[in-house]
Structure 1
């Protein structure tokens, strides 16, 4: 089921890095929540995006927003690697890519298809950051997706990425999550 603005996201049972079998609805904020589907914790680009989000998270919560990151990583492995208080947002783990499949978040057909306008510039920033690649997990060809939902899981914004860097940045997320701004 491909989500669209105005549709409803199912209340999936999910595993976070530190909790198992909880309803995704229990992770939502009181206002709007962005749910970002990335690849996996070892992916250098994903690590970079997660660090930028961590460093600028005060901009997100200032107006009552919240973010959940979904990764194709094993929760048991991550719980031994990540301190509970390191990231200010929840990380949902989907190592079997069930959520990706259910929401029709498709991988690219080729590595060339993963690259789009601005990708090389962002990948250069990732390289300059000094982050290194971690364990390989999940689907290397996976494209990301971003959704904004309200506390009832009504989809207010849906974006299926056309390429690997086709995701809202913190500024865009902040705009999307401002409680006074209507998205539909």
Structure 2
């Protein structure tokens, strides 16, 4: 098997191998029947691997309930593997491999510094569970990892390092929820308002899954859902729904790195919210929407600033950040964000000085920027904490 760098969206390398406890496992035959959670452990004697195994066994019923299937890869030999299988009552297939086989095929080679640091961080938890280092097996430097294989055979989730069971289960649950929601839209909904509400929810699910997995195609599906909302809402004159959908589209384009498109959608959202004010009688709601319109103008400018930053037009980016900062400061519900974008305006100035090779001045500005970002993050955390308990 050759070395590969596996990316989200790639087809999973298939294999046909004998397992310790479930006969021959043919991945190609399993694909399409259910989502597959492919876990690359190190070896059963490794404390980090034992810690991961305990977490996995505790959540195994949830994975089964959501329709996932686990395939567990290990460097351990038959004797020790069977001891653990029997002792821990492991029901999922345990498959032997080596660093030059499946691990390498899935791009798992030498463990990173971050992997060892995380193991050190969990040292007390591991000791508290009575886990000890047992017999060494395989390559001691082997990196662990996990992959979620979708029903079309593509990689929907990947992580190098120790098991992050929460992220995997969230990914699986979002995938199941999306399928159920699509079935609901296709078979159960008739009224336009229900279609709009359901498409918004579907868009949110795609967006959340796309953010979690980093899968561009999933974010693009979120975009398609929100575009349906815009189309259906405009047909019916539901300006508020259209405006919200434009705002959601701006968020998606931001995630995709399409900052000028995002800026355009924020402007569309502003103009459509203005139209919605004509049909709103409640003054408090009107005030909230008026503030929202100004807030979206700030974000229109922020997205432009990001675009100019990428083009290395730092002074233009600084100008947009500064203008956005002024708007945010005058909005009581959003002014806690102002200091963060004020810090960004300073960073743009530092970047421009560096570009002009004025390095001494640039260094001084970078140092000031660092302090500004620290203070802004503290302000945001304080605001969120106070809001939580208010």
TM over 0.5: yes
CA RMSD of aligned residues (A): 2.6
1:62 aligned partner: 65
Matches within 5 A, 1:13-162: 13-19=16-22, 21-26=24-29, 30-75=33-78, 77-79=80-82, 82-83=85-86, 86-95=89-98, 97-108=100-111, 114-116=115-117, 118-161=118-161
Shift of 1:113: 5.7
Give a deviation string over 1:2-41, Cα, whole Å, max 9, x none.
Answer: 2111111122122311245431245568332211112011
Looking at secondary structure, tell me which structure has more helix per residue: 2
- Distance in 2 between residues matched to 1:129 and 1:76, nearest whole Å: 24
1:180 aligned partner: 177
The structure with more radius of gyration: 2
Structure 1 residues 108, 81: CA separation in 2 closer, same or farther (over 3 Å shift)? closer
Structure 1 residues 30, 180: CA separation in 2 closer, same or farther (over 3 Å shift)? farther
Q: TM-score, normalised by structure 2?
A: 0.41
- Work out which structure has the larger RCO, using CA pairs closer than 8 Å and 6 or more positions apart in sequence: 1
Residues paired across the two proteins, number: 176
Structure 1 residues 97, 124: CA separation in 2 closer, same or farther (over 3 Å shift)? farther
Structure 1 residues 29, 56: CA separation in 2 closer, same or farther (over 3 Å shift)? farther
Checking the alignment, whether the CA contact within 8 Å between 1:107 and 1:139 is kept in structure 2 is: no
Give a deviation string over 1:117-155, Cα, whole Å, max 9, x none.
Answer: x54332211111002222211111111111100234211
Structure 1 unaligned spans of 5+: none
Structure 1 residues 67, 19: CA separation in 2 closer, same or farther (over 3 Å shift)? closer
1:171 aligned partner: 166
1:8 aligned partner: 11
Structure 2 unaligned spans of 5+: 179-205, 210-217, 219-390
Q: TM-score, normalised by structure 1?
A: 0.80
Checking the alignment, whether the CA contact within 8 Å between 1:69 and 1:92 is kept in structure 2 is: yes
Checking the alignment, whether the CA contact within 8 Å between 2:38 and 2:147 is kept in structure 1 is: yes
Checking the alignment, whether the CA contact within 8 Å between 2:9 and 2:155 is kept in structure 1 is: yes
* SS of match in other structure, 1:45: helix
Looking at secondary structure, tell me which structure has more strand per residue: 1
Shift of 1:97: 4.3
